[in-house]
Every structure is written in C-alpha cells, then in structure tokens.
Amino acid sequence: MYICSSCDKEFVKWQGQCESCGEWNCIEEIKIKDNKKSNTLRLVKDTKPIKLSSVKVKDNIRFSSNFSEIDRVLGGGFVLGSSIVIGGEPGIGKSTLALQLARLAKDDFKFMYFSGEESQKQIKLRASRIGIDSENLMLSEDNTLEIIKSQIRELAPSFVIIDSIHTIKSNEISSSAGSISQVTNCSNELSDLSRELNFTIILVGHITKEGVIAGPKVLEHLVDTILYFEKIDNGNLRVLRTSKNRFGATDEIGVFNMTDKGLEEIIDTTSLFTSNQDKSPAGSVISSTHEGTRPILIEVQSLVSKPTQSFGKRYSTGIDLSRINLIVAILEKYCDLKLSDKDIFISLAKGIRVKDISNDLAVAVSIYSSFKDMSVMNNSVFIGELGLSGDVKKIDNIEKRIKEISRLGFKYCIVPKNSKDDIQTKFNKIKILEIEHIKEIEKFFN
C-alpha cells in the first residue's frame, strides 16, 4: 500500500502527485505488518466492557516535571502511561529540554534516554554542562525498536526519552528509519508499551519546512500530547506550545531562556514582549493577549508606506494575515482610510506569535496611528475584538487582563463598551475607557 505523507490519502500503486492534496513526490510505500495472532488476543482481552464507575484512577497519576512552565503547558504535569511528541527546528533545544527532565530521576524513579543522534559521551558532556548527574539516569545508543522494547521491559523505567523517533527502526519493516511506515509503527508500539507498563514516554520529532511534525498525520492520533518548541526574537527566548493535549488545555504556553547552563524558565512573562519606552511612537500600540491562564502584554507595530509596486501589499509577522486583511477592510470602510494602495507591515515585538482576536482593536489603532503619523495616549493599552460592522466586541478574562495592566503601571485601558459590567474589582491606579465603534479611535490619540 502507498500513502501520502501530507494528507494520508491511500493508493494501491505509486504515483508522482497526490490527487487529494496536490503535493508532488510525497507518496511512499508503507508495509503493513501481519500480526493477526496478537490482534486476536488483544481483541479478546480489551473489548470486555466494564462500568465507568468501576474504573479506578490513582491519586498520583500526575507528577510534576520540576518545571512550572512545563507543568502549565501539560495541564498540571506529566501523566503516567502517556505519550508525548516534542517537535522543533534543529538546534532549538529539544534534546536539552528532554535531558533536563532527567532531574526527575530519583531512587524510586528510573529515567531512560535512548539517543539515535548523539553518542553516550556527547550526552554526558551536555549533561555535565547543564548540571545533570544521577545514578538512575540510564543512557542507550540503540535505535532498534525490538532492543529498545526489551531494555524497557528489563529495567522498568518510570520515564523514557526517544531522541529522536525518526531515527528508530523496526527489523520487521524493510523501509529505512524515518519513513512513514517506520515512524507510524515505532510510535504506535512505543505508545502501546507506555500504557501497558504505565511509564511516560517523550518522542522527540523533526519538523517539516511548514513547521509541523515530520511524518504521517496519523502520528498526531497515536500520541496523547503534541508540543512545539519555538524560537522567538531570533535570540535566546524559547516558547513551548501545545497543539494537542488529552489531559489539559491546548492554549497554554511556557516561556524559557536558553543559557549556557541549559533552559531557564521565565515565570513572569506579562511584560516580556513589549519594548521599554516612556512614549509610544506612531504605529506602536500595546495590547493584552490571553494565553491559556495567563495574560501577556504584547506590542503591535505597524508601518504604512508607499507601495514598492503599482499596488499595495500586506505583510504580517505574529498575527494571521487573513485577520489583518479583515481589519484593513474595516478601517477603509468606517474610518475613511485609503489603504488599498499602501504597503502595510505588521509585526509583534520580540517575534511572538498569537491567535487571540482580542488584539483586533490594537492592530486597527496601530495601522491608523502609522497612517496618520500620530501616537496614541501615553501609557495606554487597547483590548477588543472587531466585528464586520466596525463594532468593538466584549472579550473574555477582562478583569484578569486589567489587573496585570494596572500592576505594570499603565494609566489607561481602552476596552469594549459595557465591559465595566464584568469588572468586580475597583482599580484606582488605572482609568478604564470604553469604545463602542472603530470610528471613535481618533479620540485616543495625542
């Protein structure tokens, strides 16, 4: 059987282009292992129904990673028997993050690290650099699935790292390591083993040029959690995001700083993604986005300029371009701005990426500010979602956002009309101003 690595469409024979997604040279042969005997046994064992009330869950099914940022992303820590994939660009720190988790290794907590990319000596050097040294940390260079499973059964670890899943090969499949069939089979068998023996497993994975986990999409269904490790600001800041989590929310982020001693977590991220400046220049506006359970202040920067060609273009870093196009259309219709013949550049300071649509108002004010070459009121923050009619809609977690904005010393917070009804706390150090329609934004400029 042949399968498309992009969309998982199945074919009976190889062809150059996938008829489903249109991608070229993405169809690979996949070997299906004949395992009728074990499947029959599993069917007899696993399909016996039981009452939900009779299922017993241990109180200590979760355990901490010793990193509050990782615990936040996972929804409270690791879950015994769970399988997790961590993906990211080469050199971003995936292996360092995985190795730092070896601090969990204690007398009653065995930790196994299987490396298919580094030798044991290389891992030892990196472990010494970041201060990892434990008698309960076991290293292995084996990248054969059958040997890995045998060693896990023999040593009975509580935590296993596979670095990386794309280097693991099963002898029962003829294709090379990293192929669709190998990644699918190895991930499936290791995930099943983790549930059977009740240990936590992390599979370190490569990503494609599109920024998603390399390999078949079925991998996303085989594991319990998928995490992405990203670099921001082209510097030492790292963000850990979750795109799937069976045991928690999928909108949390963890923020770290890469140092020569490894990764250090950044607990207070509220003002991390804004510039330090007393007066905002034209085109610069502060907003408050909500990532999971925490409010984070971000700085939206816009530049509206003459086009380099006969027509204007829009560029965006950190915010979805389709959302930018919608906001530009709203500004053109209701604020009498001619933006179709302008180049518009949108960027978030420090290179962070957000999806929260409560930043719509800040983006609109930022574009308006750059177009008019006027700066907004000093020490002000704009929060609100824009409707297609130009109205500013109410948002969630407004009180939590304002509390952080006030703590950081801002004087004004511009929010959607009637938002004060959702605020129970009395704020004395910050003035809350309301806006009902995008036409009203000019009154918030100097």
The model's pLDDT over 346-357, given as tens digits with 9 standing for 90+, comes to: 999 888 889 899
Which pLDDT score, from 0 to 100, does residue 32 have? 56
User: Which whole number is the average pLDDT over 196-212?
Assistant: 84
User: Which whole number is the average pLDDT over 25-44?
Assistant: 57
Q: DSSP characters for 263-330?
A: EEE-S--TTTBS---SSPPTTEEEEEEEETTEEEEEEEEEEEE--SSSS--EEEESS-HHHHHHHHHH
> Angle, to 10 degrees, between the axis of helix 360-372 and the axis of helix 321-334?
60
Residue 7 reports pLDDT greater than 80: no
Which pLDDT score, from 0 to 100, does residue 143 have? 92
Look at residues 280, 284, 359, 374 and name the one whose alpha carbon lies nearest to residue 324: 359
Contact 263, 100 (CB under 8 A): yes
Residue 40 reports pLDDT greater than 50: no
CB hemisphere CA count around 297 (13 angstroms):
24
pLDDT band at 39 (very low <50, low <70, confident <90, very high): very low
In the chain, what's the furthest Cα-to-Cα distance?
76
Which pLDDT score, from 0 to 100, does residue 11 have? 81
Cα–Cα distances in Å, from 93 out to 99, 162, 367?
A: 10, 15, 36
Which pLDDT score, from 0 to 100, does residue 38 have? 45
DSSP 3-state assignment of 253? strand
User: Which whole number is the average pLDDT over 229-243?
Assistant: 86
Cα–Cα distances in Å, from 376 out to 223, 366, 384?
A: 47, 9, 16
Cα–Cα distances in Å, from 173 out to 30, 166, 168?
A: 9, 14, 11
Both tokens of 10, joined, read: 């199945």
Which pLDDT score, from 0 to 100, does residue 343 have? 95
DSSP 3-state assignment of 389? coil
User: Which whole number is the average pLDDT over 94-121?
Assistant: 88
With b meaning 16 or more CB within 10 Å and e meaning fewer, what string describes 386-423? beeebbbebbebbeebbebbbeeebebbbbbbebeeee
pLDDT band at 60 (very low <50, low <70, confident <90, very high): low
Residue 304 reports pLDDT greater than 50: yes
Look at residues 180, 145, 130 and name the one whose alpha carbon lies nearest to residue 8: 180
Look at residues 122, 172, 112 and name the one whose alpha carbon lies nearest to residue 142: 112
* d(C-alpha 441, C-alpha 237), whole Å: 34
Domains of the chain (ranges; CATH) run 1-30 (no CATH), 59-265 (3.40.50.300), 284-444 (3.30.230.10)
